[in-house]
Amino acid sequence: MKIFISIASYQDPLLLETLCSAYTNARFKDSLVFGVCEQADQGIDLDSIVFKDQIKYELLDPVMAKGPCWARGRIQQYYSDEEFFLQIDSHTIFKANWDHILIENYTWLENTQKDSFVISGYPREFKPNSDLTSFELDTSSKVTWGIALQEDKIFDDGHYSGQRGFPTDLTNPIKGYLIAAGFLFTRGVFVNEIPYDPKFYFHGEELSLALRLFTNQWDVIYIPEAPLFHFYTDVNNLPRKLHWDEEDEKNRIEKWTELDKKSKSRLTDLILNKLDEPFGLGNHRTIEDFGALVGVDMIQKKINNLDLATKSLSFKEITSGTLPYKEILLK
């Protein structure tokens, strides 16, 4: 079963390590198909990569870049009916047999769920050394991490709300409602049913996708010990340009502040159901249903239940299945 791996990269020195880590640590290496949109002054050397024939690659001038959603949307054009879809950031390191682990998780969960779903969440952290030759993986946490709204960022700017990942006290998969754009694993039909909206910038990416998934009757599931690790970028430790870098920004026709403003305005339009298909809300569940589960009134920008919004009170633990969950990773 093939996995299409979407990687958007902006001037990231860890892109090559991400690609090589995914390939090297996969059990079924020939089943991987990479879609890469690299926005950089100088791209990676594809000829130096032994699996280059498995990479669908686009190199763009960073001055032309319009944010991660725009890049992820471009990458989805390379999708070619692979059975599974994995979206990651360009600073990700993988555990051995990660592909087998994710597929085993997904197929086990399919036997417990009646609706389509994505596996998502903020992965555990890794830290690279100064010359990017070794990586320290944080394997200490064995529980399932969830995602909730961040208390001081709820309706922080219009309808936009920030979110955070946090450890629960559970060790089984749990059903939540918010997604992490840097780790999203699901069946490939996701690309056709919930295509990425390229008009979002950065803020609003995750919430808009969560709302579109929910209203189209897709669920979000978090799993314990996800087999990949994320570098939560500190540009002081690993210098690299971000999209709002002043040097690149001065040469752009459309500034990042304008893109950010448009993105948050588009989030408002989505919540007020002003966007058409394929980027609008679905008609299987309502925005009011979502708000009731998350503890907020999305339309009126009102907090109804702070504990529900910021903690794991609405999460549902998944324990039933044809095989006990703890045994699937032993297969």
* pLDDT tens digits along 76-95: 999 999 999 999 999 999 99
pLDDT for res 327: 63
* pLDDT tens digits along 169-206: 999 999 999 999 999 999 999 999 999 999 999 899 99
pLDDT for res 250: 75
Q: Average the pLDDT over each of 119-133, 246-260, 280-294, 315-329 and give the range with the smallest value.
A: 315-329
Q: How confident is the model at residue 234 (pLDDT cuts 50, 70, 90)?
A: low
Question: What are the residues whose beta carbons fall under 8 Å from the beta carbon of 298, sequence distance 6 or more?
Answer: 159, 211, 271, 287, 288, 290, 291
Domain count within the chain: 1
The C-alpha atoms of residue 321 and residue 110 are separated, in whole angstroms, by: 9
CATH number at residue 122: 3.90.550.10
Distances (CA, A) of 97 to 15, 104, 173, 331: 20, 11, 19, 12
For residue 237, is pLDDT > 90?
no
Torsional class of 67: left (φ above 0), alpha (ψ -120 to 50), beta (otherwise) = left
Q: Average the pLDDT over each of 28-42, 144-158, 251-265 and give the range with the smallest value.
A: 251-265
Q: What is the mean pLDDT of the chain?
A: 91
Average pLDDT rounded to a whole number, residues 136-140: 89
Residue 298, amino acid: M
* pLDDT tens digits along 274-298: 999 999 999 999 999 999 999 999 9
Query: pTM to 2 decimals?
Result: 0.94
For residue 245, is pLDDT > 80?
no
Distances (CA, A) of 302 to 9, 145, 159, 174, 299: 35, 26, 10, 26, 8
pLDDT for res 243: 65
For residue 325, is pLDDT > 70?
no
For residue 49, is pLDDT > 90?
yes
Average pLDDT rounded to a whole number, residues 87-108: 96
Question: What are the residues whose beta carbons fall under 8 Å from the beta carbon of 42, sequence distance 6 or more?
Answer: none
Residue 242, amino acid: L
Structural tokens at position 309: 């919004």
pLDDT for res 249: 72
The answer to whether 74 and 58 have CB atoms below 8 angstroms apart is yes
Q: How confident is the model at residue 252 (pLDDT cuts 50, 70, 90)?
A: confident
Q: Average the pLDDT over each of 4-8, 27-31, 215-219, 245-249 and give the range with the smallest value.
A: 245-249
Instruction: Give, as one character, the DSSP assignment of residue 24.
Output: H
pLDDT for res 329: 54
pLDDT for res 314: 77
Domain around 40: 3-328
